[in-house]
Structure 1
Amino acid sequence: MRINLGCQLQFSFPQETPMVAVLNVHYSHFGDLERPDFMVSSPSVPLESYRDGFGNWCTRLIAPSGDFELKTDGIFLDKGEPDPIAPGAMQFDVQHLPADTLVYLLGSRYCETDLLSEEAWHLFENTAPGWARVQAICDFVHGHVTFGYEHARATRTAFETMTERRGVCRDYTHLAIALCRCLNIPARYCTGYLSDIGEQGPDPPGDFAAWMEVYLSGRWWVFDPRNNTRRIGRILVARGRDAADVPLTQTFGKNTLVNFSVWANEVQENEGGMTLRVHGPN
């Protein structure tokens, strides 16, 4: 399956402003790009790429004053299969976890394990450790939180999501991550494209999505508390402890985001050439 993916962000800057963008497909999937999603800017400015401490591709630049645009557009080769499932995947005792997973047991900016630990054990102590426990957490979060773009708030934490019972996909993810960590399950935050391939319409407005990965049976597994289903066409851009580690853009000065669009469209061939079947990320 071929997926045309990309994004377009339009800003207005009152003056020259340093900026970091994390908008390219994760390096671990670079080999799956038939056409790389290279970043371009308008007007054109020098772009400097580097890999951060979590392995994400980042781009440094200085945005000029006035109108400024960043855009990516590529073709991704996807297997067309849903997220893997392994009901028998086991949870490791903390003393047996690899050292590089331990950071994903700690509290972080949006995932306050200290405030949620008692409630996490109250809710899930009697669930079977491993896959079943993580799925129980996702089931709880999916049913506990009401989704709505009007509920978006950049400062909302996992504890606030628990008490307010509303949010967007990043809030669902932060709450599920925090509950997993409280129960000694390493969990990390992911952001990227999530197409609607295989889903019934209508398609929601295009946006990047958030989900989590948990460490069970010696590897990381995808879980999506917002949608709570196995999905086709999930393409990773960045991962970290929580959303604070993977902002799509970080600007070091005042700016206005004028327009924002994201696409992840299935490419189909017909007799006249290439066509696109549109599926917007959610």
Structure 2
Amino acid sequence: MLVRFGFEIIISTPGPVPLILALSPHPSVAGRILGANKIMTEPPVPIEEFLDPFGNRRARLVAPRGQTRLWSDDVIEIEGEPDVFDWNARQHEVAHLPPETLPFLTASRYCEADMLSQQAWDLFAGTKPGWARVQAICNFVHNHLTFGYKFGRPTKTAVHAMSEATGVCRDFAHLAIALCRAMNIPARYASGYLGDIGVPPSGPGDFCAWFEVYLEDRWYTFDARYNTPRIGRILMVRGRDAADGAMITSFGTYQLDLFRVWTDELSETMTQADVLKELEHLPEAPALTLAMAGSS
């Protein structure tokens, strides 16, 4: 399967503003990528790439005064299989978990597992440990929260989402992560591209948040917002929560003028030459309204 994915973001700044971006495919993403596979800017500015402690590709630059256009546009060749499903995946005892999973058991800025512990055990103590328990948590979050861009805000945490029963996709992920951790299941935040592949069109493109849990000696993908295996995820960042993978971290003020994302399946009959010709121009794609942009 060939998937074209990319973004275009335009910001305005009153003066030079340092930025740290998390807008590139994660190094672990499998599949051949055609295209530059890097962030472009207009006007051109120097960009320094580095890996953060979670293995995410980061880019550092200084946006000059005025408008700066950021974009990326590539094609990836992937298998096109839905998220892996294993109903029999077992839950590890905490004492037997690999050390590298332990940071994903405790509370973090947006996932207050400690504050939701009693509610989690009241809701899910009767479920079978392992996949069934995580699925029960997904079912609960999927049904408990009402999705809407108007419900998103930068300071919203899992506790807020639980009490307000609303949120954007990152709130669905945060609440599910916090509930999993409260049940002693390592869970980590993930976000990236997820287009309408194999499902009805859902409107203008956006980045999407989901989460991963550690069961049966490996990490599995879960998605409390959609609550069904999906095709074509392209991971950008992982972390304890959204604070570890913010798309744009600015050290100064900026105004968001344009935000649009595309993730589209291409014809399997396309040759490499056809793909490269496609990438000569950015695709026509609707933009999210500024009130919606980046909320999820």
Q: Does 1:235 align with 2:243?
A: no
Partner of 1:16: 16
Alignment check: 8 A CA contact 1:3 1:76 kept = yes
Partner of 2:76: 76
- Matched position secondary structure for 2:133: helix
Alignment check: 8 A CA contact 1:264 1:279 kept = no
Partner of 2:62: 62
Partner of 2:210: 211
- Matched position secondary structure for 2:7: strand
Q: How does 1:96-107 map to 2 (within 5 A)?
A: 96-107=96-107
Question: CA separation of 1:87/1:259 partners in 2, compared to 1, >3 Å: closer, same or farther?
Answer: same
Aligned AA (2:255): T
Query: How much does 1:29 deviate?
Result: 1.6
Alignment check: 8 A CA contact 1:10 1:69 kept = yes
Partner of 2:7: 7
Query: How much does 1:279 deviate?
Result: 9.8
- Matched position secondary structure for 2:29: helix
Query: How much does 1:32 deviate?
Result: 3.0
Alignment check: 8 A CA contact 1:111 1:175 kept = yes
- Matched position secondary structure for 1:222: strand
Q: How does 1:138-153 map to 2 (within 5 A)?
A: 138-153=138-153
Partners of 1:219 and 1:279 in 2: how far apart? Answer: 36
Aligned AA (2:144): H
Aligned AA (2:173): T
Alignment check: 8 A CA contact 2:204 2:285 kept = no
Q: What is the TM-score of this pair, normalised by structure 2?
A: 0.91
Partner of 2:113: 113
State the Cα deviation string for residues 220-263 of structure 1 (Å, max 9, x = none).
00000000010001110000000001000111001101100000
Partners of 2:3 and 2:285 in 1: how far apart? Answer: 10
Partners of 1:121 and 1:183 in 2: how far apart? Answer: 7
- Identical-pair percentage: 49
Alignment check: 8 A CA contact 2:210 2:224 kept = yes
Q: How does 1:191-206 map to 2 (within 5 A)?
A: 191-201=191-201, 203-206=202-205
State the Cα deviation string for residues 133-182 of structure 1 (Å, max 9, x = none).
00000000000000011111111100110000001000000000000000
- Matched position secondary structure for 1:115: coil
Alignment check: 8 A CA contact 2:45 2:62 kept = yes
What is the Cα-based RMSD across aligned positions, in Å? 2.2
Aligned AA (1:65): R
Alignment check: 8 A CA contact 1:180 1:187 kept = yes
Alignment check: 8 A CA contact 1:213 1:221 kept = yes
Partners of 2:137 and 2:173 in 1: how far apart? Answer: 11
Aligned AA (1:237): M
Q: How does 1:113-192 map to 2 (within 5 A)?
A: 113-192=113-192
Query: How much does 1:205 deviate?
Result: 1.6
Query: How much does 1:270 deviate?
Result: 7.0
Q: How does 1:259-274 map to 2 (within 5 A)?
A: 259-268=258-267, 269=269
Question: CA separation of 1:279/1:104 partners in 2, compared to 1, >3 Å: closer, same or farther?
Answer: farther
Query: How much does 1:204 deviate?
Result: 1.9
Aligned AA (1:225): A
Q: Does 1:221 align with 2:220?
A: yes
- Matched position secondary structure for 1:28: coil
Give unmatched runs, 5+ long, in structure 2.
289-295
Partners of 1:16 and 1:35 in 2: how far apart? Answer: 29
Partner of 2:253: 254
Give unmatched runs, 5+ long, in structure 1.
none
Question: CA separation of 1:115/1:270 partners in 2, compared to 1, >3 Å: closer, same or farther?
Answer: closer
Alignment check: 8 A CA contact 2:11 2:258 kept = yes
Query: How much does 1:115 deviate?
Result: 1.0
Alignment check: 8 A CA contact 1:265 1:279 kept = no
Aligned AA (1:145): L
**Corresponding residue pairs, total:** 281
State the Cα deviation string for residues 24-51 of structure 1 (Å, max 9, x = none).
1001126531334211100000000000
Query: Which runs of at least 4 in structure 1 moved beyond 3 Å after TM superposition?
Result: 273-282
Alignment check: 8 A CA contact 1:265 1:278 kept = no
